[in-house]
Structure 1
Amino acid sequence: MRADRPRREGGLPAGLSVRGLTTSATVVALLVFTGCSDGSQAHPPDTRGSDARSPDAQSPAAQSPDGRGGQGSGSGRTASAPKPAFPAAPRTIPSVRAFAPAPADTWSGGAEWRPAAGTRVIADPDGPLADEARLLAKELDAGHAAGPAERGDVQLAIDPGRSGGREAYELTVRDGTVRITGSDQAGVFYGTRTVLQAVRADGKLRAGTIRDRPDRPQRGLSLDIARKHFTAGWIEARVREMADLKLNQLQLHFSDDQGFRLESSSHPEIVSEQHLSKAELRRIVSLARGLHIAVIPEIDSPGHLGAVIRAHPRLQLKNTSGSAVRGAVDIARPEAARIVDDLLREYAPLFPGLPGQEAYGHLGGDEYQALTVKNPEASFPRLAAAARAKYGPKAKVQDLATGWLNDRSDVLRKLDRRPKAWNDGFFRGGVVAAHRDREVEYWTGKELGAREPQEYLREGRKVVNLNDAYLYYVLGEPNTFRYPTGERIYRQWTPAVLRGSKPVPASMAGPDRVLGGRFAVWCDIAGAQTQDQVTRGIRMPLRALAQKLWEPGEPALSWSEFTGLARATERG
């Protein structure tokens, strides 16, 4: 069930520990010892399950003078006094990817750092890291200042030349101070999350250097607020939870058959009684941006538009017998396109993405019921005629649907947004091809005519993993859905497992092709769970997802150890 592909070390610097080394058929477990704060003696081995293990555990510092172990060879010689051993990596979710413990002879300032009464977070109060500094200071109950850094402080700094990408960071504990650097605010922010979690878990950071970065650029949560109204406060709490886990995308699906849940000035007639106001949305987006999370709007079309159809019944798609097709608009009617485009334009300024980064818009495109029948042209002759009129005599209904999404993509591009759509909105063959820059959000292989994920990857398309077998939390468990468990994600899923439980070939699964993944909450039976029950239900799946998107290799911790660490590191 596991994707047994080679572990990607991504060019991590030599001398930094990783979570396991393999030579031929031999697996070498590398043990790490934790030093005392004054560096005068060694603690017993740290057995709490560090994710990054020191390659120096077999160094002379951990051996007797004859190199045979601490108690000698049994010859009667007395072993020398143990020397200080090396600190262990911090315990965090997700785990840090590389940790180099500080040699014992550099422990002049102690083998660890702990926040104390005089601790300050150091950054220019008018500089790019001012918000990150203020937040960490508040979380540590510390002060913040411009500097210079002194013993006990945490210093934040931008280093434009640092490698690894905008989300990478380096964290060094030396001489009783912590220094976090990154090429961008995002990386430095993630370094502060490592500090915060380490303090929550163990009250300290060990001396040494962490160099850390995510494996995948897109990591997040999709939330269906159309079928079920979630309060702004509840969504804000999820944003804070996501930030602690170094997740960076929140997708809001706010339009569906059951409701339209966001205030609209262009089409107020479609808005449900329970909805988010624009002021509430601005607060959510502002909070998310401050925590380096992009909020992505999804206006699903041409299906899942029941709330729009109720206000505009003329747009309802009907088959040859005159029966209405649930949630589907008649895409041969220009008015349907006009309404959706109005909404795309209205909401774009409310979802600006992250500073300096490409912003997204999600077009849906899934489950258009005109294409779930065996013969769409026979069942929907009006759509078939419109396809031929627009795209030529060989065009079919799928071409009209593809053209619909292409037209909406054009609207998004003019708004400086990159489009996304669900995988069942991309069709095989046809006269009209889906635009190449539209990202594929792969969720299912169960739909009529479903395509394997390899097809999209062979076409050169970028894919995001929302595998419904692992990552779909569907309220009420309708059809064959069951609530996913964090343990199953942790043990079996990787970004390469796009459909079912079988991974795509490793050659197709790199971070430049499978961009990441999101955990999705769908509210098909809205009353099946309360907000609090959803919070509890997605708690461990989110943590498992965060771990596997940051580092998709074999986890070092057992599931029991991981759940214990989750309890230790989460907000009170």
Structure 2
Amino acid sequence: MTYQKSIIVLFLSALVFSCGPKGPSLDERGLIPLPKSVSSSNSSFELTSAASIQLIGDQASLEPLAQYFNQTIKRATGFELKVGEGEGQIILELYGGALDDESYELEITSSQAKISADSPAGIFYGIQTLLQAFPSQIFAPMAQNVNWIAPAGKIQDDPEYPYRGSMLDVARHFIGMEDVKHYIDQMARLKLNYLHLHLTDDQGWRIEIKSWPKLTEIGGKTQVGGGEGGFFTQEDYKELVRYAQERFITIVPEIDMPGHTNAALAAYGELNPGINLPDGDLSTVNHPGEESEIDFTSKMITREPAELYTGIEVGFSTFDTDLELTYQLVDDVVRELSEITPGPYFHIGGDESHVTAKDDYIKFVERVQDIVQKHGKISVGWDEVATANLLPGNIAQFWAMEDNAALAVGQGNQILMSPAKKSYLDMQYDSTSRIGLHWAAYIELDSAYLWDPATYSSNIKKSDILGVEAPLWTETVENRADIEYLTFPRLAALAEVAWSPGSSRDWESFKGRVAQLGESWEVQGIQFYKSPKVAW
């Protein structure tokens, strides 16, 4: 009998374990960016409509996070979980330590999922990881017939770099409010925390400046290809700032200058130093390493408004750097925009100002830095700004010239890493890509993933790097579908480059995880590029 009982016990034990969690374990889930530490255990947690959310710590900070979790899961699950200080199956615990600490701990057992952190941002990032642990249908826009099971285990996580961003060019083609919000949502799910808005360029001025109304009345009229254009009112901009803040994303506004200013010069010709658009074919882009098709001395005028421009050639425009009115405009623009921008950074552009004399360029950058500092912000500029004397704490964004980045490091300033050959989302994947450019490189998914900011340039050490940013320029981007095609899946790769240590990143692992993330993009209707490098 004893032997028979033992056989029965063993049989029942095997039966119990055979009814355990199906599907991948926690360390096999499509978690992107890759957490610092993941340990799996042999059980699972099922989220049901009877669950509730328990808040431990500062209620005022935690309640919006609980609301975000509820809003995110409601459409797919139909659940609206109760929130309070009593017992719960989803536990958000805020220790209340350093607010700039983005680390978190997520522990999933058979009875609960608990996120603990020192800051609300850490809780938010833990929520993103927990959401990824559930079936991909959790992000669906309508009710799904799914058991909401997450594999059990423990995650301890924190980011490699404090600045993890993407840039959205709303100037070449105007990108409207709802599409920018959609972009913010996708950034948040990848734990990106800075959205750099490229608000002005030759083709359009996209932000209302009340003291200079013609910037948008005239400068916002059109876009690449001659379309209608558009702009954000200051109220629109404040709404984007608010929406981003709720997702722990800080907006960085960019006013590109002294070049890339044709839209401003079309609005206010008195800022024009006498260089206007030449005649001829402007159908190609002039970037580093390419010959310009423009003879910049071919046509000279005096203080006349520039013609509105709908091409994609670069480098032909400049403010008059000797004119006091120029600096009055800059001061007014920086003041008005800084007043509605709570983040610390103001991007002053500074790239490809080919028709600005070198001494004039340096004088302009140094004076504009002072204006930005006066209004309480830290200047960020494309790497060319490092040819001037940078103020302490200002940032150079490396996109093209390693020598410029070295100049910034030599002055004691940090670098924002955006090498065009790796991080530019507007580059084609290959020669068959339906949109995009390729002046820097063709960037397939593996190329976007397989690089390390800390070793990319011999002139830049890890301690010199503030973070990583992936820019999406919109010369060929006209709508949300175009944004999604060029951005995904590469933004996921670059988010992992920014969050996860280079020593732990692995291409084979990423391929499997991004395929799972692709399932969540599909249920959301995101029209991403299905790289042949991945078994989707």
- TM-score range for the pair, normalised by the shorter chain length: 0.7 to 0.9
Q: Which residue does the alignment assign to 1:167?
A: 102
Deviation at 1:403, TM superposition (A): 3.0
Secondary structure of the corresponding residue to residue 171 of structure 1: strand
Corresponding letter in the other structure for 1:535: E
| Whole-Å separation in 1 of the counterparts to 2:85 and 2:446 | 44
Say if 1:326 and 1:261 are closer, same or farther in 2 by CA, change over 3 A.
same
Say if 1:89 and 1:567 are closer, same or farther in 2 by CA, change over 3 A.
closer
1:539 and 2:515 aligned: no
Show structure 2 runs of 5+ residues with no match: 1-12, 74-78, 138-147, 222-229, 276-296, 302-314, 428-434, 525-536
Secondary structure of the corresponding residue to residue 41 of structure 1: helix
- Are the equivalent residues in 1 in contact too, given 2:49–2:81 (CA < 8 A)? no
- Are the equivalent residues in 1 in contact too, given 2:90–2:112 (CA < 8 A)? yes
Q: Which residue does the alignment assign to 2:372?
A: 412
Q: Which residue does the alignment assign to 2:452?
A: 494
1:461 and 2:461 aligned: no
Corresponding letter in the other structure for 1:139: T
Name the stretch that deviates more: 138-147 or 541-550: 138-147
Give the superposed CA RMSD.
3.0
Write out aligned runs for 1:68-107 (5 A).
Answer: 88=27, 90-101=29-40
Write out aligned runs for 1:344-383 (5 A).
Answer: 344-353=334-343, 359-371=344-356, 376=357
- Are the equivalent residues in 1 in contact too, given 2:208–2:233 (CA < 8 A)? yes
Q: Which residue does the alignment assign to 1:129?
A: 62
Say if 1:89 and 1:305 are closer, same or farther in 2 by CA, change over 3 A.
same
Show structure 1 runs of 5+ residues with no match: 1-36, 51-86, 105-110, 354-358, 377-396, 498-502
Q: 1:330 aligns with which of 320, 336, 360?
A: 320
Q: 2:17 aligns with which of 41, 48, 51?
A: 41
Deviation at 1:322, TM superposition (A): 6.3
Deviation at 1:481, TM superposition (A): 4.2
Q: Which residue does the alignment assign to 2:154?
A: 209
Corresponding letter in the other structure for 1:154: I
| Whole-Å separation in 1 of the counterparts to 2:153 and 2:163 | 29
| Whole-Å separation in 1 of the counterparts to 2:130 and 2:21 | 22
- Are the equivalent residues in 2 in contact too, given 1:158–1:182 (CA < 8 A)? yes
Identity %: 23
Q: Which residue does the alignment assign to 1:190?
A: 125
Deviation at 1:540, TM superposition (A): 0.5
Deviation at 1:278, TM superposition (A): 2.2
- Are the equivalent residues in 2 in contact too, given 1:296–1:362 (CA < 8 A)? yes
Name the stretch that deviates more: 277-286 or 121-130: 121-130
- When normalised by structure 2's length, the TM-score is 0.75
Q: Which residue does the alignment assign to 1:426?
A: 386
Name the stretch that deviates more: 477-486 or 138-147: 477-486
Q: Which residue does the alignment assign to 1:300?
A: 256
Q: Which residue does the alignment assign to 1:157?
A: 93
Secondary structure of the corresponding residue to residue 145 of structure 1: strand
Tell me how many residue pairs correspond in the alignment.
442
Say if 1:565 and 1:216 are closer, same or farther in 2 by CA, change over 3 A.
same
Deviation at 1:284, TM superposition (A): 1.5
| Whole-Å separation in 2 of the counterparts to 1:472 and 1:565 | 24
Q: Which residue does the alignment assign to 2:214?
A: 269
1:113 and 2:45 aligned: yes
- Are the equivalent residues in 2 in contact too, given 1:119–1:142 (CA < 8 A)? no
Deviation at 1:558, TM superposition (A): 4.3
- When normalised by structure 1's length, the TM-score is 0.71
- Are the equivalent residues in 2 in contact too, given 1:418–1:437 (CA < 8 A)? yes
Write out aligned runs for 1:236-251 (5 A).
Answer: 236-251=181-196
Q: 1:316 aligns with which of 272, 284, 288?
A: 272
Question: Quick check: which has more Rg, 1 or 2?
Answer: 1
Secondary structure of the corresponding residue to residue 262 of structure 1: coil
- Are the equivalent residues in 2 in contact too, given 1:121–1:136 (CA < 8 A)? no
What's the CA shift string for 1:277-309, capped at 9, x where partnerless? 222222211110000000110011111111111
Corresponding letter in the other structure for 2:386: F
Deviation at 1:158, TM superposition (A): 1.1
Say if 1:277 and 1:485 are closer, same or farther in 2 by CA, change over 3 A.
farther
Corresponding letter in the other structure for 1:193: Q
| Whole-Å separation in 1 of the counterparts to 2:16 and 2:422 | 48
| Whole-Å separation in 2 of the counterparts to 1:101 and 1:533 | 38
- Are the equivalent residues in 2 in contact too, given 1:485–1:540 (CA < 8 A)? no
Say if 1:98 and 1:43 are closer, same or farther in 2 by CA, change over 3 A.
farther
